[in-house]
């Protein structure tokens, strides 16, 4: 495929090289910050930076929007594309219908749309990720576009699913709980240990075992432990007293504690 990327952030940093390694040609990379597109292009074979959203003369047919969700409509309103281009976004939360509607409103030429959502956490600047075991979620209303996106996904991953917008939104919410919130809780744990000059390393074996058990279990609820799980009110009250001078953390602790207690005391 002849592909151009619009956006050079976390997802594009890993996805563009993966597609190129699979034999696809990345022609152009656009970013509002030229330095970002230059950084990504430097890791590609012969792509070039594109300084504007006018792609009317682009050799690409496929345009991958790898940008924040709240920028999607604004970018679509400025995009100028060659006729019969295919525009896909990589969002977990935005519906295909939204993209279809924006392109119908803003594009002066016929454009097809789709979704190519890699279900993974990506960080720009880190070593390029292998996509073999990263689920790729595909959606398109046109069967030809759908087949092409499925093939594109299979070129880089062993796990490709056809997913509706509603299903993808559910996955994205679940991913925020499993990934973003979990990482934030690890950050809180590190901050707490740092307050007393304790090494975060002390918690690493516990964290590793927690994730090992949770991923190995058919249902992570089956391996839940801790004072909330066993109804240890004395320990819970002790912890809340310790956090009394940090009300925001106490609020998080209490909310999670009550949620766990409700689950195991139905």
Q: What is the CATH number of the domain that holds 17?
A: 3.40.50.720
Q: Has residue 266 got a pLDDT over 80? A: no
Q: Has residue 105 got a pLDDT over 60? A: yes
Q: For residues 91-104, give the mean pLDDT.
A: 96
Q: pLDDT by residue (tens digit) across 191-246? A: 999 999 999 999 999 999 999 999 999 999 999 999 999 999 999 999 999 999 99
Q: pLDDT by residue (tens digit) across 5-25? A: 999 999 999 999 999 999 999
Number of domains in the chain: 2
Residues 248, 217 share a domain: yes
Residues 146, 228 share a domain: no
Residues 175, 152 share a domain: no
- Please identify, among 163, 181, 200, the residue that sits at the C-terminal boundary of a domain: 163
Residues 27, 52 share a domain: yes
Q: pLDDT by residue (tens digit) across 115-167? A: 999 999 999 988 999 999 999 999 999 999 999 999 999 999 999 999 999 99
Q: For residues 37-65, give the mean pLDDT.
A: 96
Residues 191, 89 share a domain: no
- Please identify, among 143, 163, 183, the residue that sits at the C-terminal boundary of a domain: 163
Domain limits for position 125: 2-163
pTM for the model: 0.93
Residues 210, 151 share a domain: no
Residues 151, 197 share a domain: no
CA gap 79, 88 in Å, rounded: 13
Residues 95, 32 share a domain: yes
Radius of gyration (C-alpha) of the chain in whole angstroms? 22
CA gap 35, 71 in Å, rounded: 19
Residues 177, 152 share a domain: no
Q: How is the beta sheet containing 25-30 ordered, strand by strand? A: 48-50, 25-30, 2-6, 62-65, 85-89, 111-118, 136-139, 160-162
Q: 265: pLDDT confidence band, cut at 50, 70 and 90?
A: confident
Q: Which region holds residue 28: left if phi is over 0, alpha if psi is between -120 and 50, else beta?
A: beta
Mean confidence (pLDDT) of the chain: 96
Q: How many CA atoms lie within 13 A of 80 on its CB side?
A: 9
């Amino acid at each position: 495929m002849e592909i151009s990327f619009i956006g050079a952030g976390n997802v594009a940093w890993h996805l563009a090289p993966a597609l190129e390694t699979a034999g696809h040609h990345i022609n152009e990379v656009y970013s509002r910050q030229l330095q970002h597109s230059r950084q990504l292009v430097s890791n590609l074979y012969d792509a070039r930076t594109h300084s504007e959203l006018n792609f009317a003369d682009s050799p690409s047919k496929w345009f991958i929007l790898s940008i924040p969700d709240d920028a999607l409509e604004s970018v679509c309103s400025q995009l100028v594309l060659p006729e019969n281009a295919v525009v896909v976004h990589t969002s977990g939360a935005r519906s295909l219908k939204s993209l279809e509607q924006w392109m119908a409103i803003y594009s002066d030429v016929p454009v097809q749309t789709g979704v190519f959502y890699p279900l993974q956490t990506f960080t720009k600047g880190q070593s390029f990720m292998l996509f073999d075991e990263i689920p790729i979620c595909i959606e398109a209303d046109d069967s030809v576009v759908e087949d092409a996106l499925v093939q594109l996904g299979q070129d880089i991953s062993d796990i490709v699913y056809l997913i509706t917008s509603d299903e993808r939104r559910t996955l994205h919410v679940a991913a925020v709980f499993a990934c973003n919130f979990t990482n934030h809780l690890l950050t809180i744990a590190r901050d707490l240990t740092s307050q007393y000059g304790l090494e975060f390393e002390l918690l690493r074996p516990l964290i590793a075992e927690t994730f090992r058990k949770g991923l190995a279990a058919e249902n992570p609820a089956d391996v839940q432990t801790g004072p909330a799980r066993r109804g240890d009110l004395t320990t819970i009250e002790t912890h809340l007293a310790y956090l009394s001078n940090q009300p925001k953390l106490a609020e998080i602790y209490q909310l999670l504690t009550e949620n766990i207690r409700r689950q195991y005391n139905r």
